[in-house]
């Protein structure tokens, strides 16, 4: 049985009459990497700052290793929470070299142990040859790894990462996110990050909480968020999709213009009523032999694939990811086939 390391139990946080966090709850087990994902202003950074102890909460509890570190009545100071943090701008000390930046939080250790700890983390983040360089002499990726090593060198119980890759270009961000996950997993470190970038969240996190307006609408794996969203907001936010109207046949089936689908149907959608079915680009495949035709209204070249927007005969649009050697033009008709064996439906928005 895994140990719960971090628990947020219905925490609330407000600025006057503005409620930033509303009964926010999540559970993170030891060794897991969690993520708070959402648009700007949804409260994810505030939640991280509350966990760190930089912000107070007006209700609920924050527990680390079963110990309450924040409630409406009491708060453990940040430096006593055993929490490390990597900031968005890295916050490295410009007057200290790499080794001294990493060793900054180790001043209470004996000199030899401190030196060994610094050497260990220089090796883990593969920066042994930069120990005597200063932050301005490093690339953005190197600075990020120094910040990570500095946060982890004191052996915190929990690591917090605040938009850790937002200052990096796309290719470096993708490479470094995988590298950071490997480091955290190899060292059995529990961590939680905040980001607005879905690709980043999917690459790093074991569990992701999709946030809107101070609430987590779903705390789940990336796979379930994409394929089994619990709310229309999550379905709309995660990945690309369209909602195709259909008629509810029974408790498990819905008839759409593309055919019959087995679907999770909301209880408020009775037999014979209409519902909106979530259709992903990978649910629609190009099929030259299909009698079902659609008109290309837009195309986006993505290298190995082309994302086509297709207008069905009934006027509704769907998306389809097609290998890029099928290079059709806007206005062409192409054959398509629905390959989704199961779908999720939602009550229509009128």
Picking from 235, 269, 304, the residue at the C-terminal end of a domain is 235
Range(s) of the domain holding residue 192: 4-235
- CB-based contact 46:58 (threshold 8 Å): no
Residue 260: closest CA among 3, 250, 64, 48: 250
Q: Are residues 133 and 230 in the same domain?
A: yes
User: Residue 270's domain is classified under what CATH number?
Assistant: 2.40.50.100
- CB-based contact 335:324 (threshold 8 Å): no
CA distance 263 to 279: 11
Q: Are residues 301 and 186 in the same domain?
A: no
| Alpha carbon 115 to its chain's center | 36
- CB-based contact 28:11 (threshold 8 Å): no
Q: Note the helical H segments in the chain.
A: 44-52, 98-102, 111-124, 140-152, 170-186, 198-204, 222-227, 232-237
Q: Are residues 149 and 277 in the same domain?
A: no
Q: pLDDT tens, position by position, for the chain (350 residues)?
A: 679 999 999 999 998 788 899 999 999 999 999 999 999 999 999 999 999 999 999 999 999 999 999 999 999 999 999 999 998 888 899 999 999 999 999 988 999 999 999 999 999 999 999 999 999 999 988 999 999 999 999 999 999 999 988 878 877 888 888 989 999 999 999 999 999 999 999 999 999 999 999 999 999 999 999 999 999 999 999 999 999 999 999 988 999 999 899 988 888 888 999 999 999 999 999 999 999 999 999 999 999 999 999 999 999 999 999 999 999 999 999 999 999 878 899 999 86
Q: Can you tell me which residue has the tokens 């200290």?
A: 96
Q: Are residues 171 and 210 in the same domain?
A: yes
> Which parts of the chain are beta strand (E)?
4-15, 18-29, 33-37, 59-64, 67-71, 83-86, 158-162, 191-195, 207-212, 215-220, 242-248, 253-256, 259-264, 274-279, 284-286, 293-301, 305-311, 317-323, 333-338, 343-346
pLDDT in tens, 124-171: 999 999 999 999 999 988 999 999 999 999 999 999 999 988 878 877
Picking from 189, 217, 235, the residue at the C-terminal end of a domain is 235
Picking from 180, 214, 235, the residue at the C-terminal end of a domain is 235
- What is the number of domains present in the chain? 2
Q: Are residues 117 and 78 in the same domain?
A: yes
Q: Are residues 62 and 183 in the same domain?
A: yes
CA distance 25 to 262: 32
CA distance 12 to 174: 33
Q: Are residues 175 and 121 in the same domain?
A: yes
Q: Are residues 258 and 199 in the same domain?
A: no
- CB-based contact 36:29 (threshold 8 Å): no
pLDDT in tens, 28-50: 999 999 999 999 999 999 999 99
* Count of Cβ atoms closer than 10 Å to residue 66 Cβ: 9
User: Residue 64's domain is classified under what CATH number?
Assistant: 3.40.50.300
């Amino acid at each position: 049985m895994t140990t719960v390391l971090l628990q947020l139990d219905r925490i609330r946080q407000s600025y006057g009459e503005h409620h930033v966090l509303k009964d926010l709850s999540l559970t993170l087990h030891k060794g897991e990497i969690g993520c708070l994902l959402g648009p700007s202003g949804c409260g994810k950074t505030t939640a991280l700052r509350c966990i760190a102890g930089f912000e107070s909460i007006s209700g609920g509890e924050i527990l680390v290793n079963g110990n309450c570190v924040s409630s409406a009545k009491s708060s453990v100071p940040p430096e006593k929470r055993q929490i490390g943090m990597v900031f968005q701008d890295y916050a490295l000390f410009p007057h200290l070299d790499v080794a001294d930046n990493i060793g900054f939080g180790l001043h209470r250790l004996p000199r030899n142990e401190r030196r060994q700890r610094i050497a260990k983390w220089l090796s883990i983040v593969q920066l042994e040859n930069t120990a005597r360089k200063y932050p301005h002499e490093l690339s953005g990726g190197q600075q990020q790894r120094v910040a990570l090593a500095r946060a982890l060198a004191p052996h915190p119980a929990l690591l917090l990462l605040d938009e850790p890759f937002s200052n990096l270009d796309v290719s470096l961000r993708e490479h470094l996110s995988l590298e950071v996950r490997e480091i955290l997993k190899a060292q059995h470190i529990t961590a939680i990050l905040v980001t607005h970038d879905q690709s980043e969240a999917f690459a790093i996190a074991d569990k992701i909480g999709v946030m809107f307006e101070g609430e987590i609408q779903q705390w789940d794996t990336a796979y379930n968020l994409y394929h089994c969203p619990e709310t229309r907001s999550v379905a709309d936010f995660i990945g690309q999709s369209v909602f195709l109207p259909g008629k509810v046949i029974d408790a498990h089936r819905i008839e759409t213009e593309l055919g019959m689908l087995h679907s999770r149907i909301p209880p408020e959608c009775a037999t014979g009523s209409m519902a909106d079915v979530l259709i992903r680009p990978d649910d629609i495949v190009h099929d030259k032999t299909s009698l079902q035709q659609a008109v290309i209204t837009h195309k986006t070249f993505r290298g190995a694939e082309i994302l086509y927007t297709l207008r069905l005969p009934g006027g509704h649009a769907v998306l389809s990811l097609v290998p890029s050697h099928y290079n059709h033009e806007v206005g062409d008709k192409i054959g398509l086939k629905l390959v989704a064996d199961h779908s999720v439906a939602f009550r229509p928005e009128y």
